[in-house]
Structure 1
Amino acid sequence: MTDDPHANWSARGRAPAADEAALRDRLDADDAAARREAALGLVDAATDGLDAATVDALAARVGDDPDADVRQFAVEALGNAGAAPERLRAATGDDDEWVRAEAVVALSRAEGEAATDPLRNRLDDPSGFVRRNALVALGKLGAADADLLRECLKTDGHASVREYAAEFLGHTPGTVAETVTVLAAVLARDPEALVRANAATSLGRLGTDRAVEALETQGIDDRSSDVQRAAKRAIADARGRDPDAVDVEVPSPAPPGGGDGEGPQFETGSTPRAVDRSPRSDRP
């Protein structure tokens, strides 16, 4: 497992053992399973760089393979190699949401800050998982400003987008008073406990009197014990004290979690169905 909470779930470590040339040859196999295994193998090989012929073969799979898994693994391999950014840009518009979700991560690896504009374009993607990965990639590149984060937090219908927006706002608040107002509203109203907990943590980082007031009046009395604990830690953070030394009584009992499923903060939005091959940014 990784200690980085934003590390993208990866196919690495699941690759069949074979040399690069043999894997490249198998990318042209008639059998989709063989092509998947070849692309999967190249995900690991790509960390040490790939031959130009292999990059070309993977790029062809990204553009033309009828199997979405092959395209997804090929995208990841190219991203690991930092290669074929033009093909990765094209893949952000793939018909399959998981290919697009992987493509935004791969593009950020391949192009760095140069990927900012295409990543921002994916924040309007119909898939919440693509939007989430695009926002995380922008945040890691330092390209998600406070206005963008506040808008995502207020309007995106996918819980994990709001979760990361709330977290990043603690580090990139912009106008602090405005950000505290938004985070306080989210702490009071968002249906998802993880979003509320991240809002509480960010309020503690900002540490203004209004932030502490929101934590004391909304966070400590939250219906989720997870949010209650986050609020207590946040109050301690704001006061520069050990959480165990803060004289705040956390109500008991309170059920864990507290969300009723993904839902919008203030406006409706799409919430696509998750499947196991999601390139999730919050999985090991």
Structure 2
Amino acid sequence: MKKKDKLLEYIFGVTNEDTVTEDFVDEFAKELEAKALLDSKKRVEELKKSDELVKSKVQGDIIIPKRISTDQAPELNEQVFKPRKEKNMPFSDEEIKEIEKTISDIRYEIRQKDKFVQKEEKKLIKEGYKLTKLVTKTSKKLNNMLEKGSFSNSDIEKTLELKENYVSKLKEIHDNIKTVASKYTPEMSLQERRKQIYNDAYNAETERAQKIINWRENVKLGKSEFNWGNHVDDSDKVMPDKNASLEERKRQANWEEEVKKFKSGIED
């Protein structure tokens, strides 16, 4: 039997292609529709019977409290729900007072430590700000020498050495600030760590805002200009590093080699 004959037999129940006419197809469709209606009716009857069976099962096994009188109410296990008893701490009144005093003393020590840390941080920040000004001043002095061309080797060496000392001191101050500000201990809770991180971020943002305000005041007084150049000059406060991403912050030579580099730049 060919595939076509098999398909006709599967769909229409006939094997002869000539018998599959339009009238035959219409009659076949009507039969399928009537059969589908009968199947749907049977399905509805089955659903009704299943609902009746489920309802009888529910009424026989499940008790609905609202429909039962108090006489027929099932007995409840009252031992399931018990009020939590107040715990009696194994300490006397004097011991409790001593514990409270110890806690208050620890809190006072922590507050004093925070005050000391903030005071030291402010002190170091002021010193760093002064050194930043000195670094900027020496940088401008070197630029003026380079532009005018009037300089001596001793002046260049002294200026570069002075700038190198300022930068090294500035790096030391930054390290001290990190040391003072490192107040994180393994015993700190997550909430305390978050609070500490927030305080550090707040102090850093306050310092940045204060710096911008000082710049604006200097602009109003005509002392300096508020432009990108000022920001670049302030980048000298960061100690040049061998692994720095910016070229201007990389430094692999000492101040003597910097003098040679400066001289070679003048000759070129």
Scaled by the length of structure 2, the TM-score of the pair is 0.20
Scaled by the length of structure 1, the TM-score of the pair is 0.19
Say which structure is richer in helix.
Answer: 2
**CA radius of gyration, larger in:** 2
